Amino acid sequence: MKISAELLRKSLAPKYFFEISGPVGIELLLERTLFLSKHVDLAEHCIYLTEGAGAAIKQPARTESVLLCVGNPPESFADYFETIFIFAPDISMLELHNEIQGIFAFYEKWDTTLQNILNSGGGVQDMIDCSAEIFENPMLLHNKSFGIIACSPAYKDYPEAQNATAGGTLINIDLETTKRDEEFNRTYSAVRASIFPAHLTGVRTLYMNLFFQGRYEYRILVIESSKEIGIGEGPLLEQLAYYMKLAIVADKTEETAEVMTLQHVLKSILNGTFSDPYYIELRLNEYDWYRQQTYFCIKLMVDILDVQNHTLSLLCNNIVTLMPGACAFDYDNSIVVYVNLDLFRGSIGDAVNGITYYLRDNNLKAGISNQFTGLNELKLYYRQAEIALDVGLRNKPHIWIHRFRDITELFLLQICTSQLPARMVCAPELLALEKYDKEHDTEYYHTLMVYLKNNLRHVQTARELFIHRSTFLYRLDRIREITGLELENCGRQWYLLLSFRLLGQNGRE
């Protein structure tokens, strides 16, 4: 990798005192160091090293090369070199040469890492991660809707949070203000790395736009936080942008096809990258998904072979073919499907029936959420589908499709006993009745349960228990004596019925 005179200056400044004659270029044009002698022809864009006292040139010619001279060079050298670094005469040329080699090695290691990431199928997140020590400031890549695609660890810890994430979007971006700001609007057409001042975002940034087919799609940002952004960092950001663009074209974070873009948006909602309602709606509206439309979510448990054989994408494509208006994607070793029923032009029942045989033939088990309207709770309805699948499989593993509406009661009961066993959350009066029955061979526990299920109707309860009404009334009096319950209290009735259901899960009914 080539470096610039500015990178050379910045890297040498902490260790050496020197003067500079001529402009300090920022373009990455300079190649590795050569020792200047009368036997060496001057070449363009090289770094030459010499001692001032014995400096000589074989064939004088004007170049855009850089000279590092230990001691004062001949005055005529100013005509031959674009820039001259003048060091004290007691500096070791060998140490200076080794220092420059180390500078090249540092940046070449970074460039090689970027190449390896690209060649091995890595993505833009990997590229940002390996660039942290180059820029030494928070970094991110966002799309044209300000949705964050990737960011550095330093960005996540950005203390002022003036440009930090708010559910995967840039906060402190006033869209109405930016529309009226001519300077900000001009940034969208910038083809080179540029500095943007802090008057809109509250922080100075170095940015580089990424264009695809002539259209602005992404932007890389370096946020001035840990240190001041150097003037030589622009070309480095352009170097990073070159590899990032190749990674995106290679389909690592590509959003060119509509269904893939919709997949990315929905997946970003689930993993928490996107959570701001305004930006979620903005992104989904681009694909004709609107708040007034009706949706539902499916989570599919896939065969382990589909994961191992990387066939999840094929399954997703087939599901979308069977359900127009659906968006399917792999997520956490499973498949998630969101269905827009307005685009599907049918009911939730029609949509599920259309994939039933496909699910069975491909050994897919499905959890189905309730249908819903709006875009603000997409993640919650995914959770609903996930719960339907989890609870359904634990109770009826042979069934292919598990609807949340069918497992709701069981789910609520499981929540009640998720932290404590049923005997510790149920009404203690029932445990007292159960104990009394065992000790006295009575049926007061069962009598109370039937009585509550029949809404405190005496005749119906006696008939169901196959006992005389007077016998039932006697039992009821004894139940009151043993427990002290006020059965006419509606809230108490609800709690007792719930307690019976919880205890019934343990086979006590």
Mean pLDDT of the region 184-192: 86
Q: Is 383 a residue whose pLDDT tops 80?
A: yes
| Structure confidence by residue, pLDDT tens digits, 246-264 | 888 875 444 444 444 799 8
Q: Mean pLDDT: which of 62-66, 103-107, 284-288 is highest?
A: 103-107
CATH of domain 258-413: 3.30.70.920
Tokens 């509550």 sit at which residue?
452
Q: Is 321 a residue whose pLDDT tops 60?
A: yes
Please give the mean pLDDT across all residues of the chain.
86
Instruction: With beta carbons less than 8 A apart as the criterion, state whether 147 and 168 touch.
Output: yes
DSSP single-letter state for residue 302? P
Q: Which of 8-17, 137-146, 338-347, 368-377 has the lowest mean pLDDT?
A: 137-146
Tokens 């540092």 sit at which residue?
106
Instruction: With beta carbons less than 8 A apart as the criterion, state whether 410 and 403 touch.
Output: no
pLDDT at 70: 93
| CB atoms inside a 10 Å sphere around CB 82 | 21
Percent of the chain with pLDDT over 90: 50
Angle at the Cα of 341 from the Cα atoms of 340 and 343, rounded to 5 degrees: 70
Q: Which residues contact 42 (CB under 8 A, 6 or more apart)?
A: 48, 57, 58, 59, 60, 61, 63, 65, 80
| CB atoms inside a 10 Å sphere around CB 455 | 9
Q: Which of 5-14, 156-165, 352-361, 450-459 has the lowest mean pLDDT?
A: 156-165
pLDDT at 493: 85
Q: Is 384 a residue whose pLDDT tops 90?
A: yes
pLDDT at 415: 86
User: For residue 4, what pLDDT band results from cuts at 50, 70 and 90?
Assistant: very high
CA distance 190 to 187: 5
Mean pLDDT of the region 228-240: 94
Following DSSP, what letter does each residue of 323-386 receive, concatenated? STTEEEEEETTEEEEEEEHHHHTS-HHHHHHHHHHHHHHTT-EEEEPPPEESSTTHHHHHHHHH
pLDDT at 53: 64
Match domain 124-249 to its CATH number in 3.40.50.450, 3.30.450.40, 3.50.50.60, 3.40.190.10: 3.30.450.40
pLDDT at 120: 87
Q: Is 233 a residue whose pLDDT tops 50?
A: yes
pLDDT at 456: 87
User: For residue 42, what pLDDT band results from cuts at 50, 70 and 90?
Assistant: confident
Q: Is 398 a residue whose pLDDT tops 50?
A: yes
| Structure confidence by residue, pLDDT tens digits, 352-367 | 999 999 999 888 999 9
Q: Is 215 a residue whose pLDDT tops 50?
A: yes
Match domain 422-504 to its CATH number in 1.10.10.2840, 3.40.50.300, 2.40.37.10, 1.10.3210.50: 1.10.10.2840
User: For residue 145, what pLDDT band results from cuts at 50, 70 and 90?
Assistant: low
CA distance 293 to 221: 36
CA distance 147 to 164: 11
Which residues make beta-bridge pairs with 337?
298, 328
194-196/205-212 β-pairing: antiparallel
User: For residue 115, what pLDDT band results from cuts at 50, 70 and 90?
Assistant: very high
